[in-house]
Structure 1
Amino acid sequence: MRTRTIAKTRSVPVTIDGRTVLVEEPYVVRVPVPPRDWDRAVRTGLLAVAGIVGTAAVTWSTVSIGALLQTDVPAAAAYAAAATFDLLWIGCMALEWLARYDPARATAPRRAGWVALVVAMLAITAHGNMAGSLAIGLIGSSVSAGAKTLWWLTLRSFTNRLTSRTQQWVDALRAESEGQLALIPVRRELARARGTVAAEEAALLARPDAGPDPDPEEEGPDADVVPIHQTRIVVSAKDAVRDAWDVGLRDEETIRRVASTAHGSPISEATVARYVRALKVGA
């Protein structure tokens, strides 16, 4: 069995002049080396080969289709558009890989990827035919077909196959998680809507201070008339809460904001809760 050496440190006591302290002492240990994972090595090499083949396919299709398109459009636009032909089926293949454990969702990108491949092969074949060599066009189109097939088989080797019962179990867990994710924007939208409604109700039910009386007719001074100073009618906290309840408000926080505005000073949450409980019992 193969082994390898690992350097470690440990704390050991050292006593000098009657005083003991812990110091770090290096030491080495030999641990067994696991056997080489040839499956992983082969898969790594397969990914490298698939990457090289895919790069060659994209390069060939870009050059070939770009030469076909530049007969009618500028070269820069032609080659930019040509690069998308193979990139389309590569992108669809990536989407298929992400949905590898969701067969229903993986169907659409799988079909779209093969359609994109056929379109790219037809364009490459058309360029070869236009250049006077249909054989070169067919051979060039087979490069993209081979790259797509190699990538498809490579990704399949990394995918674990699930039984019908296991797939249903995975689908149930995914549906639960996706439902929880879907609730996040819904809750955010509902919170914004409730905030808007509360602000609208608070604005409509707020009672502004009484303004000055209309200008009275100018009269002369009268000794029998005693001036009365204008005072503001103060609404009690209980009456303010009852008024908010009577107009249909049921959320205690909304009732507290509206009642505090009518009362003229903040009302505590405990007070609002006590009055609301009394109103509920009376209802």
Structure 2
Amino acid sequence: MRIKTVRTTVPTEVTRDGETYTINKTVDRKVVTVVDVHRIVRRAVTAVTVLVVAVALAWSVTSIGALLSIGAPTWVAYLAAGAFDLSWAVLMAAEWTMQYDDRARIPRVAGWLALAVSMTAIATEGQLHAGVWIGIIGAVISLLAKGLWTVMMMITEHPLSDVSRQIVQQKRSRASEELALTITDRELIRIRQETAALRESGSLTRVAWDAEGITRKALAETLADAIEDDAGPAGSGSRPQSAGSGSAPESVPLRSVPDPDHFAPQSGSIKELVGSVMAEGITDPAAVVREVQADRPDASAETIKRMVRLHRVNGS
């Protein structure tokens, strides 16, 4: 135990000319410090354990790599040797992070199994190249590293009673629930954004045609032009019949002029008026423009023609 002086600031009220101000005043305080021996020992054990694990990994990779290089290229053999040791090292780290979780038994058991496989490979390599005792000693290095890690976990772990363990498990469950809900909400937001983008892009089949640079207007105009090319010029009457088809019924001619007995202008939007006119068989754009403007003189001819093209494409 020792006493040291610590300089700090404290808020202090000062009155000048009848007014009170709050200033930060520098003061020296005597602080009693106690050396935490247990904390120093825990840090030393942790540092030494990590060092021993690193040495064990280096020795194991060298030994197993030399063993596997008998039947494989050198670089492949040493990569595979690294997989041997990293497996039990990763499992040790997983066991440490899950020390207050009931599932920690899984990485604990798997870690010992992976260590046994690694030690067997190290002993085999030593017996082939340097002698049986070299192989055994090399294998024991990995066992010492695993044992020190287990001791370090025992030092740093805080034992819990049965009640405390159940409380920790319930809090972990709530934290896991919040994490799962956050991930699910993020996916739901992304799906809704994609759905909204598809709807706003517009297309005949509710698919984002503009993903390929095709807008709804351009697609509608293209299809409308194709329909007009197939139908022929307005007012040309019925399509010519093929030879030998005299008994075939005549196709219905396109009407290019209004028939007052079948159509009566009605109020409504431009789209509704266009639909009503075309429902009566008037399909020529110029004729549709005249009929719609008879009821809506302020309607633009370009707007009416666009509605005609959309009506032909969508059928409504």
Q: Same fold (TM over 0.5)?
A: yes
* Shift in CA distance, 217/142, structure 1 to aligned 2, threshold 3 Å: closer
Contact preservation (8 Å) 1:14, 1:23: no
Contact preservation (8 Å) 2:13, 2:20: no
Alignment of 1:164-203 (within 5 A): 164-188=162-186, 192=191, 196=195
User: Cα deviation per residue 1:173-201 (whole Å; 9 max; x = unaligned)?
Assistant: 2223322332334445566479959969x
Structure 2 unaligned spans of 5+: 205-252, 271-316
Contact preservation (8 Å) 1:5, 1:31: yes
Q: Which residue of 1 aligns with 2:139?
A: 141
Q: Which residue of 2 aligns with 1:5?
A: 5
Q: Which residue of 2 aligns with 1:209?
A: none
Q: Which residue of 1 aligns with 2:53?
A: 54
Distance 1:84 1:69 in 2: 12
How far residue 122 of structure 1 moved from its aligned partner, in angstroms, is: 0.5
Distance 1:163 1:74 in 2: 53
Distance 2:149 2:27 in 1: 48
Counterpart check, 1:232 vs 2:268: yes
Q: Which residue of 2 aligns with 1:68?
A: 67
How far residue 77 of structure 1 moved from its aligned partner, in angstroms, is: 1.8
Distance 1:73 1:90 in 2: 24
Alignment of 1:90-129 (within 5 A): 90-103=89-102, 105-129=103-127
Distance 2:269 2:172 in 1: 61
Counterpart check, 1:32 vs 2:44: no
Distance 2:15 2:184 in 1: 65
Distance 2:257 2:9 in 1: 102
How far residue 44 of structure 1 moved from its aligned partner, in angstroms, is: 1.0
1:131 to 123, 129, 132: 129
How far residue 2 of structure 1 moved from its aligned partner, in angstroms, is: 2.3
Distance 1:125 1:40 in 2: 37
SS of the equivalent of 1:119 reads helix
* Shift in CA distance, 68/174, structure 1 to aligned 2, threshold 3 Å: same
Q: Which residue of 2 aligns with 1:239?
A: none
Contact preservation (8 Å) 1:12, 1:25: no
C-alpha root-mean-square deviation of aligned residues, in Å? 4.0
Distance 1:20 1:163 in 2: 55
Contact preservation (8 Å) 1:128, 1:134: yes
Contact preservation (8 Å) 1:102, 1:171: yes
Contact preservation (8 Å) 2:56, 2:142: yes
What TM-score, normalized to structure 1? Answer: 0.64
Distance 1:132 1:26 in 2: 70
Q: Which residue of 1 aligns with 2:274?
A: none
Distance 1:115 1:101 in 2: 22
User: Cα deviation per residue 1:116-158 (whole Å; 9 max; x = unaligned)?
Assistant: 1001101101101111501100110000001011111111211
Greater mean deviation of Cα atoms: 150-159 or 183-192: 183-192
How far residue 4 of structure 1 moved from its aligned partner, in angstroms, is: 0.6
Residue identity matched to 2:255: P
Q: Which residue of 2 aligns with 1:85?
A: 84
SS of the equivalent of 1:100 reads coil
Distance 1:185 1:13 in 2: 54
Contact preservation (8 Å) 1:125, 1:134: yes
User: Cα deviation per residue 1:91-137 (whole Å; 9 max; x = unaligned)?
Assistant: 0011111111112x111111110011001101101101111501100
* Shift in CA distance, 188/130, structure 1 to aligned 2, threshold 3 Å: same
Contact preservation (8 Å) 1:54, 1:147: yes
SS of the equivalent of 2:67 reads helix
Residue identity matched to 2:8: K
What TM-score, normalized to structure 2? Answer: 0.58
Distance 1:188 1:20 in 2: 53
How far residue 165 of structure 1 moved from its aligned partner, in angstroms, is: 2.2
Percent identical residues: 35
Distance 2:161 2:24 in 1: 54
Residue identity matched to 1:216: R
Contact preservation (8 Å) 1:8, 1:29: yes
Residue identity matched to 1:2: R
Count of equivalent residues = 219
Q: Which residue of 1 aligns with 2:255?
A: 216
SS of the equivalent of 1:72 reads coil
* Shift in CA distance, 80/8, structure 1 to aligned 2, threshold 3 Å: same
